[in-house]
């Protein structure tokens, strides 16, 4: 029958398309997971006071802090470059905001479907721990959760106190990328 080759062709095309899309989706998640493993060893060195090493030779960034939320099983290495490229590998410190663990407003961003997917479950009162270079530790308590427009750069403004601001895209379960909204979690430094 003359239909068969066409059906076969369609089948292989669809198979190919499916495999390609699944692989792309898998690649995003695989990068997110694998990179954090590679970054872990670079971090150990930075924490012990050595020069922060690049996790792999051609990397565009270095780890600068470690963020943990024990109650929700979160353990992430924070990078120093918030470009779209390095966001694939981990949460990043937004340049120009207070340095991690420092005085002022420290802003971190990460993808809503990988590293910062946990923000959806974060509640006011949760405690975050931040470990920075030379093994310094700082604890923060979540005090505010809000949703803003992407243009609201005030989220990045300096503050008179030590704040940790975590930003990711919203809604969390959106299918299409490119939302204008941002989910913002603001935590204040505890003693």
Under rule CB under 8 A, residue 94 binds other proteins: yes
Using CB under 8 A as the binding rule, the residues of this chain from 115 to 144 that contact other proteins are 116
Position among 4, 49, 125, 191 found at the interface with other proteins (CB under 8 A): 4
**Using the rule CB under 8 A, is 168 a contact of other proteins?**
yes
24 lies in the binding site for other proteins (CB under 8 A): yes
Give whole-number Cα distances, 30 to 24, 34, 89, 110, 161, in Å: 10, 6, 9, 15, 37
Task: Figure out which of the listed residues 33, 70, 174, 190 binds other proteins, where binding follows CB under 8 A.
Answer: 174
Task: Indicate the residue among 101 and 114 with the shorter CB distance to other proteins.
Answer: 114
Is residue 154 involved in binding other proteins (CB under 8 A)? yes
**Smallest distance, other proteins to C-beta of residue 61, A:** 8
What track of x and - describes contact with other proteins for positions 26 through 65 (by CB under 8 A)?
Answer: --xx------------------------x--xxxxx----
Annotate the chain with three-state secondary structure: CCHHHHHHHHHHHHHHHHHHHHHHHHHHHHHHHHHHHHHHHHHHHHHCCCCCCCCCCCCCCCEEEEEEEHHHCEEEEEECCCCHHHHCCCCEECCCCCCCCCCCEEEEECCCCCHHHHHHHCCCCCEEEEEEHHHEEEEEEEEEEEEEECCCHHHHCCCCCCEEEEEEEECCCCCCCCCCEEEEEEEEEEC
Number of residues that bind other proteins (CB under 8 A): 71
Residue range at the interface with other proteins (CB under 8 A); choices 22-30, 38-46, 65-73, 131-139? 22-30
Nearer to other proteins, 4 or 191 (CB): 4
Q: Please, which of residues 62-91 interact with other proteins by CB under 8 A?
A: 80-85, 87-88
Number of neighbouring beta carbons within 10 Å of residue 145: 17
Among 50, 95, 102, 135, binds other proteins (CB under 8 A): 95
């Amino acid at each position: 029958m003359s239909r068969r080759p066409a059906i076969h062709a369609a089948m292989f095309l669809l198979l190919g398309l499916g495999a390609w899309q699944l692989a792309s989706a898998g690649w995003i998640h695989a990068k997110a997971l694998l990179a954090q493993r590679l970054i872990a060893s670079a971090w150990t060195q930075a924490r012990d006071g050595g020069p922060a090493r690049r996790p792999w030779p051609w990397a565009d960034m270095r780890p600068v802090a470690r963020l943990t939320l024990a109650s929700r099983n979160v353990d992430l290495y924070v990078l120093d470059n918030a470009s779209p490229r390095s966001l694939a590998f981990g949460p990043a410190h937004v340049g120009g905001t207070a340095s991690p663990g420092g005085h002022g407003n420290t802003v971190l961003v990460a993808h809503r479907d990988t590293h910062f997917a946990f923000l959806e479950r974060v509640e006011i009162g949760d405690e975050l721990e931040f470990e920075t270079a030379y093994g310094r530790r700082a604890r923060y308590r979540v005090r505010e959760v809000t949703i803003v427009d992407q243009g609201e750069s005030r989220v990045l403004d300096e503050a008179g106190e030590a704040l940790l601001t975590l930003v990711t895209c919203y809604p969390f379960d959106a299918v299409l990328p490119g939302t204008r909204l941002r989910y913002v979690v603001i935590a204040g430094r505890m003693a």
